Every structure is written in C-alpha cells, then in structure tokens.
Structure 1
Amino acid sequence: MSWIPWPDKLDYTKQAVEVPGTKQPGQTAHYRNGLWGLMQHSPDSFTTLPEVFDIGFAKSSKQPFLGHRPMVSSPGAAPVHANHYMWQTYEEVDRRRRAIGSALHRLFESGRLGDREGMDTVGIWSRNRPDWVIVDLALHAYKKVGVSLYDTLGKDSVGEYILNHASISILFLSSDHIPSILKASKRLPLLKAIVSLDSLQDDPGFVLKAWAEDAGIILFELSELEKDGNAALVEPVPVTKDDVACVCYTSGTTSTPKGVILTHGNMAAVTRTNMYGNSFPGGKGRMLSYLPLAHIYERICQYFVVVSGGCIGFSTNDPLKLLADLQLFKPNFFPSVPRVLNRVYQSAMMVAQVPGARGRLFREAVRRKLEVLRTTGENGWGIWDVLVFRKIQAVLGGNVAMITCGSAPIAPDVMNFLRIALSCDVIEGYGMTENCGTCLRVWPKDPQSSGSVGPPQPCNEIKLVDVPAMGYTAEDKPNPRGEICVRGINCFREYLKDEKNTRETMDGEGWLHSGDVGEMDACGRFKIIDRVKMVTASEHYEARARRIRRA
C-alpha cells in the first residue's frame, strides 16, 4: 500500500462530512473524514502485523532497526551509558524473532505451556528495550497473544490479577522483576515458565534459578530460548486479520483492569490509517522509544515507523536523561505527551522573562510567528528560527519533523507556541485503548486547530449521542454536544472474560461508547469537553439501551 500525501491545498472548513440519512433522535448524524471518507480495502492493503514487519524488512533488510545505548559503567556502580547507539538490523531481528517464536511454538504445541481451551497468551513485563519489541514480533509471527504489564500494575496485586485473568503460562521479564514473581508464585497457579531478558550468569542469577526450581517454575534466559529455537526452526504460523494480536489492560474508570482484546486487523488498520497524510523526511521514520510500550500509543507509533522501514532507538529509561537521549539520537518523529511538552514549553518561556535585548527579541519573535500561524497556519523556517528558535529545536535533537501528542489535553497556547518554536507539524489527537489509540487527529497547518483534536481518522466514523443527565444534546447551539461514539475497523470486539463491560461499551450496531463528551464545530473538528460522570452512568446506559432496542 502506498503512502497517501496531503493535497497541496486543504479545505479546513470541511474536515468532517455527514453521512446522508444517518441523523436520528438523540444523536448526531455519522461523520467521516472530510478528505478521504472511510478507508477502503485495496488489493495492496495489509491486514496483519507480520505483514507490517515484512514491508519494513523488504525496504531496509540490512539497515539499522532497533538500537540502544550500551551500559559502560561497572556492575553495582551508577549507570552510565555510551555516547553512541548499538544497532540490530532488520535481518538480525528477523532471525531472532524466528528463533524465539520457534521455541515458543514448540513449548505450546507440546502441552508444557498454555490453556488448551483458550488463547495462547504470553506476558511481557519490562521497561522499553529492543528485546521487548523482538519478543512481541515473535508473538505476532507465531500466532501468540501478547499481554503486557507496566510498572504501575506489576508491583501490586493488580499484576497478579492480570497474569491469572489472562491465563498467562509464560512471562518474559527483566531480571529485576523476577523476585516479585517468585514471591507471588503460589498465587499464580497458571504460570509455568519465566524468561529473563537479562543474563543470569552471576551469583544473584544462580540464586534466582534455585529459587525458581523450588517454586516449580522453569526459568530460562532469553539466549537459551533462542538457542533452542535455532536448533529446530519452525516457519511462522499464518495469521488472519481476525486473529487476536494482544490483550491490553486498562483500568478505565473502575478499579479492576479490563483486558481489551485487539486483533491483527485492528492494529494493521491504524498503521494503514497513519499512512494517510503522514510522511517522514527521506521516507523513513526515526523514533526514540521512551513512552511505555505496554500502552497502545507507543506501539502504534512504532508500527508506523516499521512500515516505513525506519529505525527505533531506545531511551535509557531515565526521565532525567531524556533530553540527552534526544540530542544524541536526533529523531525525526517524536510521539509525546503533555507532561513532556509542557516542560519544553516552560523551559523555553523562561527566556521571555530575561531582561534586556535578548528577552525583547524572544518576545517579538513569538509575537510575529504567532501572528502568521493564526492567519495562515504556516510555522516554517525563517529569520526567527535562525536567530531565536534554533536552540529550542536543538533540545529535541534538531531534526524533528513531526510531533504527535495524546493521552491528555494540552493547552492551546502551549500547542501554538510549540508549533512556532519547533517549526514542525505538532499533531494533537484522541484515542483510547479500545480503538487502538486512534480516533481523531488535527490536520496540519490548520490555523484554528489548537484546542481541538481534529476530525475523524480515515479508519473510523464518529457520532455524538445525547447525555441528558448532564445537559449535553445533539441539538445544542451553536455546536452539537454528546458522548463520542466510534465505529470502524480499528475498534475492539470485546473485553476478555467481561461480558458486562463489553455490553456497556460496545452496542449492537458496533459503536464504541467512549465515555468522553465531545463537541463538534462547524468545520468538523471535535473537542473533548467533559467525561460522562459515574453518578449518571447508570441512567445514561439505560437510555442508551432503550435507543438500541428501538433501533
């Protein structure tokens, strides 16, 4: 499938288009992307994640793919990382994913692992690193279902809940997490094996192996598993768009995590939709991985880079060293979140308070560029970038062409400043785990987009449904308001072993009810304005059920 560029001129007044005949009482009409409508399948479309990797592999087989900064400090000393990246090529990653996948395939086929009545689930618990991605690629290629834990879940009983709820029999993890698992082993009756992503060839490692043996759990090193796989390689197992790729747990508004079941088709769809209107300098993405891989946002950004044949460098996982990682790596694509971008903004704006000529020059540069941005949408290079903003751009490595921002709202003033100071596309979007983090996103160079999350993505359509208990209706003036509902090939099919929450979230017509209240302006841009309150949720769901029955 080819990348689809933006046209030379965009009509910002028609960013969403109404689907004729879809308006009903208590809700707006259905709206689709104003430029591309609803994404259609084409003969060269891909529908599974192994196909995403194959496309990247075909473009860049001998080129760098996954890189990290090796540790140069002595064991036990404060961590110090090298000032260079060590790379694995697409070919090297392909060999490793086949070895890991072959070993896993035989373990499951032999009956040593798995629950024969359910999915072949495999857990991953580690901070971002190349091995995390390689294991995940192996799961895709051998029809296994990845279930990730992130640090805030793994340190308490919630992590145990996920391991048991998802019937995980084998868990890949960093060595620092092994003691936590072994301590909880009696409460994890389904867990039969753990695989350390780190070497255990030292005294602490021997202790862990003995402890695991006493607990009745097989403890592998990743290198051992790869060796076993290479001894008897198995061809990748064909998967379809309807096969489950992963289960992502999200707490949502309740205390018990919900396991969002996402298929290969869901994840491939959001990778395809990102090929509409987006591109990288030179055609290949260069991305620094620092946001948690256990969250959907980071993963869909990585797939976008993979399909371009690009490369992913991993941060040192130290927030205090993030800027140093960026300046060394020099990404052209920077997925981010408001807490990071707000720090960039606050640091930059301190210059505005500097007395004298420097402060005056900075303030004048901001004023001039904001004036141009708000009238034309342009934020590009010029004398102000050379004189004032080049140092701010250098903070992120000096090479960033596109920044995406999600997970929480960001103030319009901050968004506008970032666009003029960084002189690149700064794209705010909206999504949730249940739609693969993909739903709405702003169009580039839209002078009035700040404060909104843009129109529908090409992979889905949107409608707003009344929330009468909160006073939001499709008939509100000047703009319709209501709960954002999403339908498309990016939307999940169910929560794992949770029919109640599935029924409350996904209705019989395939609409995902987000729980977020949105407002749509006259140009087809959406804005998140509220959350469906828990105190009114019961009444809201009852009204929703009545509408569905009437339909």
Structure 2
Amino acid sequence: MSHTLPQAFAESVQKHASRTAVVGEDGTELSYAELDQLRIYAARALVAMGVQHGERVAIWAPNSVEWIVAGLAIQAVGGVLVPLNTRMKGAEAAYILQKSGATTLFCAGRFLGQHYPTMLAEHWPSSLKHVVVIGDPESGDTGWREFMAKADQAHTEDVLKRAAAVQPSDRLDIMFTSGTTGRPKGVVTNHAQNLDVIRSWSAVMGLVPEDRYLIANPFFHTFGYKVGWLGGLLHGLTVLPHAVFDAGAILQRIARDRISVLPGPPTLFISLLNDPTRAGADLSSLRATITGAAAIAPSLIERIRAELGFQVVLTAYGLTETCGVVSMCEAGDDAETIALTSGKAIPRVELRCVDADNRPVAAGESGEIVVRGYNVMQGYLDDPKATAETIDADGWLHTGDVGVLDGRGYLRITDRLKDMYIAGGFNCYPAEIERIIAAHPAVAQVAVVGVPDERLGEVGKACVVLRPGAALGEKELIAWCRDNMANYKVPRYAEMMASLPTNPSGKVLKFQLRDMAKGAG
C-alpha cells in the first residue's frame, strides 16, 4: 500500500488508465492516462521553474481541471500545496502567501468580476517569484499554456526521481484556518496521515470506480480537496469539478452527467430542494452524499432521501486540524442517528468529551471535544505557542467545540467554546472579522456574533460602537465589508449601539449579544 500521494496516484493510474478521470464544465474529458500525462508535464514545468522539494506553491482559483493538474504536479515534485480561498481580497491572500513563504502562485485570471493578479499587485508578498494565471489571462499575465510550455526545459525522469524521493512524513500541504487571534494559522499535515484519512472516508462512503463525483465544494477546503477530487481520483472515480454554486446548474449537471456522489453542506441541499426546476430534473443517478458543518434538522435528512433520491445519506464532523475528518455515521445507521449526531470516530482515532480539568466526562454528559490519533496535524506553521495551546502533552487536540458522546460513542455537537460560527459551511472567526471592521474610520469598537439563519444555518451580526461624531449606517458598513473581506465573512446585519455589554474586566459578553439578537428575531 502506498504512503505518499505521488505513489498512490500512480497506482490509481495503473489500475484505471482507460477510465475517465475528470470531466470539465465545458465537457472536456481526460482518462486517467491522459491526466497522468498532464500531471507529469506540469511537474516538469515546475522543475524548470526551479521549484524545489519542500517549497510552498499556492493555488488561488476556482474548481477546475487545471486546479487538479496543478495540485497533482506540486505533490509530484515534493512541493507543499497552499490552497487559498477564492473569496479572499488581495490583502488577505497576500498575508497567507507571505506567511507560508509561497514562491509560486497559480491563480484565477478574472473571476467573479475581479482580476486576481491586480487584486494582489499592491500587496505583493516578498517571497513570491512566479504567478501563473489559470483561465482567461490578460495582457501581462503568464497563462497556463505559457506555463506548460516550460516543460520542454525538463525531463520526465527528473519528475519521477522527485516523486520517488517524497517520504510519507513529508509535508503535503499547509491549509490556513483563522483562529481566535484574528490572524489565519497554517495547519501542517503530511502525506501518510492524509492518505489514511482519505481511505477511511472513502470506505465509509462506499466509493466505487463506477461513481461519478460532482464537486461543488471548493477545492481550497478539505471537503472539496482531500475527500473531494483527491479521494475520488485515488479510488478510480470520475471527478467533475464545478466552479460556482448555482442550484439550477447543479441540477442540470446531475442529469446530463449522471452524477452519483454529491456531498456538501446543508445549504447546498436546501438550495437544490427549493429550486423551482427540481421537479422536472432527472435525479435518478444520485446514490450517496455526506453533509455536516452545521446543525441539521431530521426533516432535511428525510427530504434529501425522499425528494433528491439519495440511497446513502451520512453526516460527519471534522476540522482542518484533523485532515478534515474526525467522525462519521455509517450507511446502516438509522435516520435519527444520522440527523442528530456526527457519527463515531473513524478507525484508529480516539474521541473524548472532557471537563475543564481535561478529565473525560461520562456518556451523555457535555464536555469539550478532544481528538487523538494519526489524523491530528503536525502543528501550526511556525507557531509553537498556538500548537501547544491546541495539542496537549498527551497528544489530544482540543477542538474548542462542546459535545456529548452517547453510550455507542456517537457524537452530538451542542455548542462551541470558541466564538466561531458556520455560515453556509464556511467557518467564520469573529476575531478576524472584527480586526478588519475595526479599521473603518467611523468604528470605535465592534463585536461580531453568529445569529441563526434559515438558509445558511448562521450568519454574522456586527454590533458596533461608533466614534464620537461619526455617522455610519447598516447598509453602508455592510457594503464596506464586502469590499474588504471574503463574502462569507461579511456580516449580514449590523447594529449601531451606544456601548457593548462587558464584564468587570472589560471583556465583551458575547452571549448577551447573541441572546439580544435572538430576542430581536
């Protein structure tokens, strides 16, 4: 059994050479053998550009066939992949590029009305040497074709030697997740642990080569990348990337491309169920899905089965710090278990709920969720203090989430110790959003809390104290936020207040703000 991604992908190519590996949104199809050729070609181009073993290479682009080719090529030469959220603005992306030390960036050209190289230009990180534009390059951009042409300056043997030199303990990627400090932290994981997680996930999902896997979950997230296109390709599936979520387009693609596997956050399924074109769509090919990242009503699980036709509907729990997966339900679990729990720990992973003294609580009692096992990250990049605060001396990763384990070991998540909320499947960290809003010249103080939302699960509300004499309206602030942060971080509501509730030491009492917001609703 292979223990590095280049080895595992090469084995998959050997087994499935003539099968269709990927299908682009434009209908372009590549067999496993053809995808392998492109991977080698792109890897040769990286070698020609001077990318070394262990060097960080970032991708800031929407889901596409080229994203997959670039990702596989980076892994083949022993590079470390750094995925960036496509909704980030220039300053946000530049911080991650600088922090990771990325020397090469694959990015979108023009996407969602923005030209990505232009967004980055005024915040250019000192480490960055090369930028390759995936799709629609403009004047002055180095495009994908120009990049691939560099392959002529290197040889396939160079790539094969580099791939053979990759070790199971080598860094596979650095995925950035924000923290309570308000600055994103880089989560470091290696080849071996990610492969083991992908294998466990795929076994529970029952993936088979005949499956056709539509991936609308973004590739910059573990859901779209690790147990997304990577998991699909390592098990011989046909992977179909989808760049921008649109319920009508997804329904058309399910019918046209005979999709059988379609995971996503609850928001995705609510949108599909509510789309007026669903009634006329042929969804008979759908077989398996898995959801999570938000509270799920049992009625939604029933509708996903009855109205969308999925035979297998599972729920799961995971973090970027655990290679994306901690626990999963199983296909044989009853509907109530699937709807109300996030499953049990995957094999060789321990799961506990502990009290304030780090002692396990009894089954049925609430406590902080802690995880120990091969899936736990190597640590936060260049941040031993944050790593030590998160992983204790006995190897337990403290998630900051509160939950209850039942007698079977099934986990129910009840709350969060941290202030994080989840909007449409995206983790939102108030400290990070507050730091950005605090830069507004009219803002004296701000606290952001998550409030319930029927479609997205939760959305942000900014509670703002203005500077003396300043004037700022809700719509004006929200518009400013859209210009200065990724869309999913933008608060959907803003309330101007005379003061924020605090305790005697001056700490803002966010639970009071959340309670006030619920009361107002």
**TM-score category, normalised to shorter length:** 0.7 to 0.9
In structure 2, C-alpha distance between the alignment counterparts of 1:528 and 1:397, rounded to whole Å: 31
Identify the residue that residue 65 of structure 2 maps to in structure 1.
130
Match of 2:75 among 140, 149, 161: 140
State how far apart, in whole Å, the 1-side matches of 2:56 and 2:31 are: 27
**Distance in 2 (alpha carbons) for counterparts of 1:287 and 1:459:** 27
Amino acid at match of 2:391: M
Query: 2: CA distance between counterparts of 1:136 and 1:439?
Result: 24
How many residues are aligned here?
407
Asked if the contact 1:297–1:436 (Cα under 8 Å) also holds between the matched residues in 2, the reply is: no
**1:68 partnered with 2:49:** no
Runs of 4+ with >6 A deviation:
none
Deviation at 1:442, TM superposition (A): 0.8
Closer/same/farther in 2, CA of residues 507 and 395 from structure 1, 3 Å limit: farther
1:303 to 194, 217, 230: 230
Counterpart secondary structure, 1:336: coil
Matching residue of 1:104: 46
Matched, 1:341 2:269: yes
The structural deviation recorded for 1:254 is 4.0
Q: For 1:460-514, what per-residue CA distance to the aligned partner results, in whole angstroms no more than 9, with x for missing partners? A: 111111137xxx98445x7132111111111101111112211111112221111
Cα distance in 2 between the residues matched to 1:179 and 1:48 = 32
Q: Does 1:480 align with 2:360?
A: no
Aligned to 1:42: none
Q: Deviations over 1:88-110 (max 9, x none)?
A: 1211211111121122123236x
The equivalent residue for 1:235 is: 159
Query: Which residues of 2 match residues 511-522 of structure 1 at below 5 A?
Result: 511-522=396-407
Residue identity in the other structure for 1:438: V
State the AA in 1 paired with 2:78: K
Are residues 493 and 244 of structure 1, via their aligned partners in 2, closer, same or farther at CA, if it must alter by over 3 Å?
same
CA contact (8 A) 2:48 2:150 kept: no
**What root-mean-square deviation, in Å, do the aligned CA atoms of Structure 1 and Structure 2 show?**
2.6
Give, in whole Å, the separation in 1 of the partners of 2:42 and 2:122: 26
**Would you say 1:168 and 2:102 are equivalent positions?**
yes
TM-score scaled to structure 1, two decimals?
0.69
**Deviation string for 1:517-537 (max 9, x for gaps)?**
11011222110011114699x
Spell out, residue by residue over 1:127-160, the C-alpha distance to the aligned partner (whole angstroms, 9 max, x if none): 000000100000111100111111222x142211
Q: 1:523, 1:420 → 2: CA distance?
A: 27
The reply to whether residue 92 of structure 1 matches residue 34 of structure 2 is: yes
TM-score normalised by L of structure 2: 0.73
Tell me, in whole angstroms, the C-alpha distance in 1 between the residues paired with 2:331 and 2:202. 14
Match of 1:432 among 319, 328, 333: 319
The SS at the match of 1:151 is coil
Superposed, which structure 2 residues align to 1:12-161 within 5 Å? Answer: 45-70=1-26, 85-108=27-50, 119-153=54-88, 155-161=89-95
Counterpart among 130, 136, 157 of residue 193 in structure 1: 130
In the other structure, the counterpart of 1:370 is none
Offset at 1:48?
1.5
Counterpart of 1:429 in 2: which secondary structure? strand
Deviation of the 1:182 alpha carbon: 5.3
2:387 equivalent to 1:510? no
Q: Measure how far apart 1:164 and its partner are.
A: 0.6
* Offset, 1:240: 1.4
Q: After TM superposition, give the deviation of residue 338 of structure 1 in Å.
A: 0.6
Superposed counterparts of 1:345-424, under 5 Å:
345-346=273-274, 395=281, 397-421=283-307, 422-424=309-311
Q: Which residue of 1 aligns with 2:145?
A: 223
Q: How does 1:6-17 map to 2 (within 5 A)?
A: none
Alignment partner of 1:88: what SS? strand
CA distance in structure 2 between the partners assigned to 1:267 and 1:284 by the alignment = 23
**Could you tell me which residue of structure 2 aligns to residue 35 of structure 1?**
none
* Partner Cα separation in structure 1 for residue 250 and residue 306 of structure 2: 22
Q: Secondary structure at the match of 1:288?
A: strand
Q: 1:475 to 1:275 in 2, by over 3 A?
A: closer
Question: CA contact under 8 A between 2:215 and 2:228: conserved in structure 1?
Answer: no
AA partner of residue 9 (structure 2): F
Q: Find the partner of 1:456 among 345, 365, 372.
A: 345
User: For residues 124 and 102 of structure 1, what CA distance do their matches in structure 2 show?
Assistant: 18
Q: Secondary structure at the match of 2:159?
A: coil
Which string of whole-angstrom CA distances, capped at 9 and with x for unpartnered residues, describes residues 334-379 of structure 1? 111110112344569x9xxxxxxxxxxxxxxxxxxxxxxxxxxxxx
Higher strand share: 2
Is 1:267–2:186 an aligned residue pair?
no
Give the secondary structure class of the aligned counterpart of 2:333: coil
Do the aligned partners of residues 416 and 252 (structure 1) sit closer, same or farther apart at CA in structure 2, a change above 3 Å counting? farther
- Decide whether aligned partners of structure 1 residues 310 and 279 sit closer, same or farther in structure 2, where only a CA change above 3 A counts: same
**Aligned-partner SS, 1:53:** helix
SS of the aligned residue for 2:353 comes to strand
- 8 Å CA contact 1:242–1:263 kept in 2: the answer is yes
The answer to whether the 8 A contact 1:451-1:527 is kept is yes
Alpha-carbon separation, structure 2, partners of 1:522 and 1:439: 18
Alpha-carbon distance in structure 2 between the residues aligned to 1:90 and 1:533:
43
SS of match in other structure, 1:152: coil
What 5-or-longer segments of structure 1 have no aligned partner?
1-44, 71-84, 210-218, 351-390, 537-551
Q: CA deviation at 1:441?
A: 0.7
> What are the residue-to-residue correspondences of 1:261-340 with 2, within 5 Å?
261-280=188-207, 283-299=209-225, 300-315=227-242, 317-320=244-247, 321-340=249-268
Tell me which amino acid in the other structure corresponds to 1:159. A
Cα distance change, pair 180–134 in 1 and its aligned pair in 2 (3 A): same
Counterpart of 2:347 in structure 1: which amino acid? P
d(CA) in 2 for partners of 1:318, 1:453:
25
SS at match of 1:69: coil
| 2:490 match | none
Does the CA-based 8 Å contact 1:291-1:298 persist in structure 2? Answer: yes
Q: Distance in 1 between matches of 2:17 and 2:302?
A: 39
Aligned residues of 2:48 and 2:154 also touching (Cα < 8 A): no
CA distance in 2, matches of 1:336, 1:161: 28
Return the letter of the residue paired with 1:225.
F
Which residue of structure 1 lines up, in the alignment, with residue 454 of structure 2? none
Matched to 1:462, the amino acid is: L
Cα deviation 1:391-419 (Å, max 9, x = unaligned): 76x74732111101122221122113323
Superposed CA offset, 1:19-62 (max 9, x none): xxxxxxxxxxxxxxxxxxxxxxxxxx332211331232122212
1:16 corresponds in structure 2 to none
Matched, 1:532 2:417: yes
Q: Determine the C-alpha separation between the residues in 1 that align with 2:78 and 2:67.
A: 17
% of aligned pairs identical? 26
SS in 2 for 1:292: coil
